[in-house]
A and B are shown apart, each in its own frame.
Chain A
Amino acid sequence: MTPLPEPSTTAAPPRPASRPGFVRREWLPIILFVLLALLPFAAMLGPEKYTLSLVTRVMIFALAAISLDLILGYGALVSFGHAAFLGIGGYAVGILAAHGFQDAALQVPVALLASGLFALLTGAISLRTKGVYFIMITLAFGQMAFFFAISLSAYGGDDGLTLASRSKLFGLSWLENDRFFYALVLALLIGCYALTRAIVASRFGRVIRGAKENPVRMEAVGFSPFRYQLAVYVISGMICGLAGVLLANQAEFVAPAYMAWQRSGELIVMVILGGLGSLHGAIIGAAAFLLLEEILSGYTEHWKLIFGPFLVLVVLFARGGLLGILAKVRGKSGGGR
């Protein structure tokens, strides 16, 4: 009843800066990226096209999941409409290509601008609400984008839009080469990971993290969290828009389904599955999600019946997601904690 501020219950339990164990937590992202860099060589021994395409897809969704983790894991902003940015990035590619503008040098800036603008407009409204209302309103904006895409009859409407080819890179057709495309996606993933890593550790990032734990305290030291949250929402939307550009190129196809609310839900699941608020957890979560989907759906079309309970178990028994399980295992075998 009283307006007395209470620290939000979502506050993460304090944890020491570094953990003992035979693998330090900081090494994990490096190991991940090295594995991803080596994978194409291993892929040559098997079904290369299939492997590269699958892992490229994983990395693209990892990029989207990282962008969501930036606001969800560090800002407690549960955006349930994040897939809209995938769609905006994808449609920027598709629509421009349909008009003969096939170069990424134009498509990418347009995609970033469009996703940034969409984030700015929807964020300016959604961020005035909190908690469940924020979830609902971002969902509503996501659905608006979804239905808008369906209404684009000139660009395939419901059926979506098939690209004639992947984007050109300054006039060159390098993206058609699966190995090159893989390398490009990996480079962008690493770049965006480094960027978001820097952001969360910066002055700006501290404001975002503080506002997540105790917004009233932030105001009581002189911050108006809204502006910072809006800015991080825009950054997140732009990174996710970039993932949309890549996704359209990978599939050579864009459709309203990119923006379906189920897709937004899957992004949230990836982030939570991997472990909230660590950035590389989002990569692990995206990989686990898509690989499990790939494997399980090979056995049965009702794969979600198995996947659902698995998710519930992870959320119930590993509060830090897969990353949390990993830390526990390491803690035991490493003799620390």
Chain B
Amino acid sequence: MVLLVSPSATDPQALFEEHVVPQLEVLYRTARSITRNQVDAEDLVQETLLRAFGAIDRFDGRYPKAWLLTIMRNANINRARKKVPDLLDDPELTFERSTRFAETDTPEQVVVEPVFDATVHSAFNRLPESFKQVVELVDLQGLAYQESADLLDIPVGTVMSRLHRARKRIRTEIAEYGLDSERTPT
């Protein structure tokens, strides 16, 4: 390939190190949110890096995170086509089968932050994987609904319904533990 502009202005290595390498952790976390496991997440990041490096000369240097997430989205669509998706389980069915807290007496202790957090995380861990995906993308990665939808290649309405149902399930467990107030949920 012949460089048409001065090499210093578009040195791919320098551009990559400046714009992409600082985003590695964000990319990995996002990939882990999408794939739900470490090995696939690493594969997805590597594929994203390969594509990003191939396209770095066309990147204008603005919004590297958004640019990289778009690349990851396309890489993920490609990956999902090659592989039988393991997220096809119906969340409605699988969640109801999953284990729940054993019945205990209503805790009498005052509301303490660690108990609240632990209950939230415990409830989160028992959510269907497809629900965890959107919760992580929105609440942890701070992505907008539309960004999450683009990344997962699903309608924004699906992002909303999964996210909102996930939070309501967590909220139900909070209520079961009497962690919100004496008020019973309606």
A, B assembled together: no
